[in-house]
Amino acid sequence: METIWFLLWGVLWGAYFMLDGFDLGAGILMHFLGKEETDRKKIINSIGPFWDGNEVWLITAGGVTFAAFPGAYATMFSALYSALMLILFALILRGSGIALRGEVGKESYRAFWDWMFMVGSFVAALLFGVAFANLFKGIPIDANGVFQGNLFTLLNPYGMVGGILFLTFFILHGAIWLAFKTDGEFQSRVIKLIPKTWIILAILSVGFLTMTAGFTNLYDNYMKSPVLFVLPLITIVCLILIGIFIMKSDWKKAWFAGSGYIMSATLFGVVGMYPGLIISSINPAYSRTIENCASSPLTLWIMLIVAIIFIPLVVFYQAWAYRLFKGKVSHDEEGY
């Protein structure tokens, strides 16, 4: 049961990055592409029906961490407290930006909240990458799970490359979404950005996979079971497919290929960590693993039954919402 929940934990994080990633990316592009209020309205309206539903997966992933692996949850909110609090504040800022930008008719008021939306999206995307790269690398925790470092400890070369990798992917994912959901001159500006961003992502992906061999022990599990190399292979194939679909201007398929990329990349790291949840860089014996952090078998069984019932309902609801709002957006729609 511990292994099942470990894999489900990874899948839920991958689902969050896959879905919330594109609206984080759209937010980052707010002032780069939103030259006029009509452009910014298109960006907001393209993610408006979806962004809050996408964040359900963040709550689910966090809830699973708390309920299935409470020991790891406690250590995580000690070791990564500063980073996680900054992510929380960033998510509050971006949500406030979307909700409040239209409350007052003044341009300066809208501009302020649009900047908050962009800054919140940028900080959250960057720090998610920094946090997960450090989980892959290992964090200096002692035998009691106490973090022996500070925020700057997390801003190491591997952590920063992970943060920039996440940031670049989210920007690409968001740009592809905007190309899919808009048309006209605004879409043309979005399309010009996409190939350059894909090239940067490809370079960063190769660099991150190479650095992973030197900074982490993730490949140990892959060397023990070579069949697991299918995960980084899928990641590379999805990256290539993104490029192919970009050249064909098939934005829908490019978006799905991007979703496959981030899901397989997340699982690549999670499977490499197994059975560790929070790896200690001081001494591997201090690591928080599925064996020493898991809830009781009864709790895990009850959670599994609940997950089997409710996760398909969430998927069905979100699929319905995406189908309902599947058309192109315009700047004059009601709402934001």
Question: What are the distances in angstroms from CA 76 to CA 91, 178, 186, 237, 263?
Answer: 18, 34, 42, 32, 22
pLDDT 10s digits, 271-324: 999 998 988 888 888 888 888 888 888 889 998 898 899 889 988 988 898 888
Query: What are the residue ranges spanned by the domains of the chain?
Result: 2-324
pTM: 0.92
**Poorest-pLDDT segment among 20-24, 91-95, 149-153, 241-245:** 149-153
* Interval 207-263: pLDDT, tens: 999 999 999 999 999 999 999 999 999 999 999 999 999 999 999 999 999 999 999
Q: Tell me which H or E stretch contains 288.
A: strand 288-289
Q: Cβ(68)–Cβ(294) under 8 Å?
A: yes
CA–centroid distance for 296 within its chain: 29
Backbone angles phi, psi at 276, to 5 degrees: -80, 145
**pLDDT, tens digit, for every residue of 126-137?**
999 999 999 999
Q: Is the pLDDT of residue 50 over 90?
A: no
Least confident residue range of 7-16, 88-97, 149-158: 149-158
